[in-house]
Amino acid sequence: MLTFLNTQGNAEAQGTGNKATDQEAAFAFQAQTHGFHFWPKGSPPPTEDGIYYRYQIQGSQKPGDFALEKVVGGAVKAGLVFDLKHTLSKSFYLNDGWFHDDVTYIVSWNEGTKGKPSNRTHIALGQDISTPEENAFMKELQAFKAEKNTATKLVGSLRPYVRFANQYSCARFTRENEAACMVRVLAHVAVADE
């Protein structure tokens, strides 16, 4: 499955920018096990009605590791976007981004110790993860980044470009928070399938 994802299903391809992770391979395996067919990135919609999954729908560093979509008559009739995060510690990187509304995040981490691991998974919509205070701070930070990346083109021989390497702590993902987020995810899935 790792090789399949890395080549977008084309054994002759050179591969994607970032190699697929074990977590991504497990997601794709589950999608296939549940009847989803692979739809290669950049390909037109399938002509056969059915349920499909796409990998790295906007590229390796953009939101949307996977999309699960229902295609009818050559057009997408319903779909969900998933972004997967995995860490062996208690925080994960956001890859120069922030949480996106209506994207389902699947975050896997180890809340135990090195000698006694305890793996956890948190599933939530992007809008349900961060706090209002965090969102306000990131809005300011993103405005700063946008201004610097558009206003400053060249300083001598230097072409500056601001990127983030922000981390987010899994400490926020309590059992109570997990349960509330899962209720909202399931409601989102039900609406998307109507």
Query: What is the domain partition of the chain in residue ranges?
Result: 1-82, 87-194
CB contact at 8 A, 15 and 94: no
Note the pLDDT tens digit of each residue in 97-154: 899 999 999 999 988 877 888 899 999 999 999 999 999 999 999 999 999 898 878 8
Q: Which residue has the higher pLDDT, 79 or 10?
A: 79
The predicted model scores a pTM of 0.88
CA 173 to chain CA mean position, Å: 17
Kindly give the pairing relationship between strand 75-86 and strand 103-110: parallel
Tell me what the mean pLDDT of segment 66-92 comes to: 93
Residue 193: predicted pLDDT: 73
Kindly tell me if the per-residue pLDDT of 63 is higher than 80.
no
Kindly tell me if the per-residue pLDDT of 62 is higher than 90.
no
Cβ neighbours, 10 Å, residue 39: 23
Instruction: Cite the DSSP H helix spans in 87-174.
Output: 132-151
Kindly give the pairing relationship between strand 91-93 and strand 167-169: antiparallel
Q: Which residue has the higher pLDDT, 192 or 11?
A: 192
Residue 156: predicted pLDDT: 92
CB contact at 8 A, 79 and 192: yes
Q: Whole-angstrom Cα distance, residue 9 to residue 177?
A: 37
Tell me what the mean pLDDT of segment 52-78 comes to: 86
